[in-house]
């Protein structure tokens, strides 16, 4: 099993990416990890010794967060994410992991790997921490003008992912909407509802924003704009609340003493709500495994994304999706 890791992508690249890769190399000696990027920036981390299961592939260019994704991917043929995706295309790697520009990763996957037959548009699925464990939400921003048919494809792909990777049997699929009853919502969700109702899925109907953090659906299906807003709002609010808790429970001596006692409990919650535990988000619908990491990923998130990539390879995710999509 060989996993290409984009060493140049992310706010903390290359250092944290390399550290996460080293951690993974140690944990899984049988997995071959390929660090793709500018060698002169990667090599300094390997003076002395390099683990036998890490190899390096040169990519001279880097795509920045502010570049137009598709244009940059077309122009910079030697960018790390382009080279890493090409390794998958050529069969020299089984998956790619990146914390760089999501748009560029998607463009590189679409141009390099193409779509799975029958899938109109890929979707980014993110595992969102909830009160009931990690639940999949898709799309969180791959596609901003989805059709009802595409939402239905997301549901099918998401259901397969939740079952095979998140190990949730017969996952409950919910349609993100602004009311619980059938007939609620905009044209897109009303039409998607009628398609989902008859699809080979465990469709539980509409779910509202408030249902998502409670984990009332295992797979939450939505259009990319609203999914992106939901994801980032949850991230922001969790951040604000933890910051406030830190301030308010240490604002005087008595509270400080109390804080010492409750800290382990709060840490448990922080761990439950930490995206880094879930590693990465799969780009679902492209013809190859491409794991998207949060831009601010550090060692643990990269390590976990490599774990997710392995699981996707293990369960033959692409073949599973190919078989699960109705031929039309």
260 binds its own copies (CB under 8 A): yes
Q: Report the 10 Å Cβ neighbour count for 13.
A: 23
**C-beta closer to its own copies: residue 200 or 258:** 258
Alpha-carbon distances of 205 from 23, 59, 139, 194, rounded to whole Å:
41, 46, 17, 10
- If binding means CB under 8 A, how many residues of this protein chain bind its own copies? 59
Counting contacts by CB under 8 A, is residue 64 touching its own copies? no
Of 15 and 277, nearer to its own copies (C-beta) is 277
Residue 259 touching its own copies (CB under 8 A): yes
Residue with tokens 């013809």: 287
271 binds its own copies (CB under 8 A): no
Q: Which of 57, 109, 212, 312 binds its own copies (CB under 8 A)?
A: 212
Residue of 23, 56, 266, 315 interacting with its own copies (CB under 8 A): 266
Using the rule CB under 8 A, which residue among 20, 69, 112, 141 binds its own copies?
141
Within 8 A by CB and 6+ apart from 181, the residues are 206
Among 9, 69, 185, 288, binds its own copies (CB under 8 A): 185
Q: Does 244 bind its own copies (CB under 8 A)?
A: yes
Chosen residue from 85, 130, 202, 299 binding its own copies by CB under 8 A: 130
Dihedral (Cα; 60, 64, 68, 74), 10-degree rounding: 10
- Our CB check for its own copies shows the closer of 48 and 265 to be 265
For its own copies, the binding residue among 58, 120, 145, 319 (CB under 8 A) is 145
**Interface segment toward its own copies; rule CB under 8 A; list 52-60, 141-149, 194-202, 276-284:** 141-149
Least separation in angstroms between residue 66's CB and its own copies is 7
What is the bridge-based pairing of β-strands 32-37 and 54-58?
parallel
| Binding residue for its own copies, selected from 148, 209, 295, 324, defined by CB under 8 A | 209
**CB 21, CB 302: distance < 8 Å:** yes
Q: Which of 97, 77, 40, 81 is nearest to 282 (CA)?
A: 97
Provide the β-strand partners of residue 289. Answer: 95
> Does residue 11 touch its own copies according to CB under 8 A?
no
Quote the least distance from Cβ 271 to its own copies, whole Å: 11
276 lies in the binding site for its own copies (CB under 8 A): no
Question: Contact positions toward its own copies, by CB under 8 A?
Answer: 66, 130-131, 141, 144-145, 176, 178, 181, 185-187, 189, 208-214, 222, 224-226, 228-241, 243-245, 248-249, 251, 254-255, 257-262, 264-266, 268-269, 272-273
């Amino acid at each position: 099993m060989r996993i290409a890791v984009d060493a140049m992508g992310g706010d903390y690249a290359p250092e944290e990416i390399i550290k996460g890769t080293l951690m993974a190399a140690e944990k899984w000696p049988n997995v071959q990890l390929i660090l793709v990027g500018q060698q002169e920036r990667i090599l300094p981390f390997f003076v002395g010794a390099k683990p036998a299961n890490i190899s390096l592939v040169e990519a001279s260019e880097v795509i920045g967060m502010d570049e137009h994704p598709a244009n940059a991917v077309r122009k910079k043929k030697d960018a790390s994410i382009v080279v890493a995706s090409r390794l998958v295309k050529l069969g020299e790697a089984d998956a790619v992991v990146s914390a760089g520009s999501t748009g560029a990763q998607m463009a590189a996957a679409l141009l390099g790997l193409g779509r799975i037959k029958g899938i109109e548009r890929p979707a980014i699925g993110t595992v969102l921490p909830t009160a009931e464990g990690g639940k999949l939400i898709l799309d969180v921003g791959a596609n901003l003008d989805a059709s009802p048919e595409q939402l239905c494809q997301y549901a099918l792909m998401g259901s397969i992912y939740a079952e095979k990777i998140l190990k949730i049997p017969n996952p409950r699929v919910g349609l993100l909407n602004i009311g619980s009853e059938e007939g609620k919502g905009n044209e897109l969700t009303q039409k998607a509802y009628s398609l989902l109702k008859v699809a080979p899925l465990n469709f539980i109907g509409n779910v509202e924003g408030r249902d998502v953090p409670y984990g009332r659906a295992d797979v939450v299906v939505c259009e990319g704009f609203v999914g992106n807003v939901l994801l980032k709002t949850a991230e922001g609010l969790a951040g604000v609340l933890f910051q406030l808790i830190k301030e308010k429970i240490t604002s005087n001596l008595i509270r400080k003493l109390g804080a010492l006692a409750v800290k382990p409990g709060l840490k448990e919650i922080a761990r439950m709500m930490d995206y880094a535990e879930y590693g990465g988000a799969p780009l679902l619908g492209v013809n190859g495994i491409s794991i998207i990491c949060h831009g601010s990923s550090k060692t643990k998130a990269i390590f976990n994304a490599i774990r997710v990539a392995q699981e996707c390879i293990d369960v033959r995710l692409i073949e599973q999706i190919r078989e699960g999509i109705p031929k039309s």
